[in-house]
Structure 1
Amino acid sequence: MKNIHKGTLAVLGSVLLLLGSCQQGAKKDESTAPTTSEPVEAEPVAPPKGIISLDESKSLYDNYTKNRVDMIERMELEQYPDEKFEASRFTSFTYSDIKQYMAYIEQEAKEANVDISSLRFYFANYPNTPDFPDGKKVVHPRQNSIFIVPTIKVDGEDYGFYIGADGNAKLIKDAVGSTETGSTDSNDKSYASMLPVFLQDDTSLNLNHGSSGPPPYGDF
């Protein structure tokens, strides 16, 4: 019996020594393992299908000059013969403003549980008044501009939307419709009086007030 007891103790001791060496080996392996991983390179971004060449850009720019700018400036001269008017050719937003705008509309769409389907760029014309209806200063009266409207899919069609006071996405067409807002002439009060009235807590997602101006020197 004593011999059996001694043999059992010897076997247990060997097992414990073996386990201890395995644990030390594992710890050693962990300590020698690299603590940082190789940076993962981002996949190259393919150019969008809408990218056009510089030659095509120049052609489009010249077409606008020939077919639109002269008519705009003649019309303005007829209405205001004592004022020099140079038609705007572009509207720009800072890159950081566009990034903030994209993040903002994505945030609002997510909270309203809808997916943005497109961005719609509307042509616009500033009023010949010192201020907009919201009180902001009109920096370039009578100049053309653009404003951006995000859209969502409804029954297979894209519709501009805003966030209602209840937090849900609502279609702009149901709030504004196709009714004209009246003349932009400073002598015609219908411009301000006929604008649609929204609830105080409604949230517009439309972006405007970019920097518009005449041809940027050197571009085209």
Structure 2
Amino acid sequence: MKLLNFMIPITMMALVLVDCKGDHTNNEDDGNTGPPTVVVVERPDMAIELGEAIALYQNYGANRVGLIESFEEELGDVDNYQATRSLTFNFKELRQYMDYVEQEAKTAGTDILGLRVYLGQYDTKNSPHPNAETVFFNPTMKKGDNEVAFAIQNQNGNPTAVPVGVLQDYYLKTGKIKTPGKANLVFIQDDITSLAGNHGGRRPPPPHEDDDYNDEGNN
């Protein structure tokens, strides 16, 4: 009887071990080379419907483009000026940019809150798109109660996240950056790692037969 009482729990433990050994639901545990688990990405809140996107594009064409082109014609710097309607960034390069920004922020011990999109304009010199509108990116971080764009500054050998406004003020006061309106903004990059991103492919208004957003219906 004592032997039976001893064997019963031993037998139960053996059954449990055999059952666990035969049940492999984790491919990493047993070296199973089956198909990887598919990760479903949920639709983000920033995703919008096609109708809203069409309205945004056509509203800009109807209410902003004419004003921009009329102003440029009055300046007379560029003949037959066409306002920028879109910018295309290479998808893989954009991913690389995001990875690079995250990497540099980590070196400074900084968490990225967002990616801010700024509106900008090229000048009339040293630019393939004289006077053209553009956008550029910059990651943001938390500073007090605010969310600010930042760059990485080498401070005594330590990478430090610094608000771009602080660096801009420094450049303007010391003359290490030309004042806005001159040919180009010249940065002294010795101790600064800029995290700004640009150089998208500019596109003027597509023709109606183009298979893209266009102003058909507004003309």
- Structure ID, larger Rg: 1
Q: So what's the TM-score if we normalise by structure 1?
A: 0.71
Match of 1:173 among 144, 153, 165: 165
Percent of aligned pairs with the same amino acid? 33
Task: State the partner residue of 1:182.
Answer: 180
Matches within 5 A, 1:4-19: none
Question: Residues of 1 paired with 2:205 and 2:150: CA distance?
Answer: 32
Structure 1 103/169 Cα, relative in aligned 2: closer, same or farther at 3 Å?
same
CA contact (8 A) 1:176 1:196 kept: no
Q: How many residues align?
A: 176
Task: State the partner residue of 2:211.
Answer: 218
Q: Give the unaligned 5+ runs of structure 2.
A: 1-17, 23-29, 173-177, 214-219
Task: State the partner residue of 1:134.
Answer: none
Q: Aligned Cα RMSD in Å?
A: 2.7
Question: Residues of 2 paired with 1:196 and 1:74: CA distance?
Answer: 30
Task: State the partner residue of 2:141.
Answer: 152
Structure 1 runs (4+) deviating above 2 angstroms are 37-40, 179-183, 195-199, 215-218
Alignment of 1:53 with 2:46, yes or no, is no
Question: Residues of 2 paired with 1:35 and 1:157: CA distance?
Answer: 49
User: Post-superposition shift, 1:173?
Assistant: 1.1
User: Post-superposition shift, 1:38?
Assistant: 4.0
Task: State the partner residue of 1:106.
Answer: 102
Q: Give the unaligned 5+ runs of structure 1.
A: 1-25, 132-137, 184-189
Task: State the partner residue of 2:58.
Answer: 62
User: Post-superposition shift, 1:174?
Assistant: 0.8
> CA offsets per residue over residues 35-65 of structure 1, 9 Å max, x none?
4254441331111111111111111111101
Structure 1 82/118 Cα, relative in aligned 2: closer, same or farther at 3 Å?
closer
Q: So what's the TM-score if we normalise by structure 2?
A: 0.72
Structure 1 98/83 Cα, relative in aligned 2: closer, same or farther at 3 Å?
same
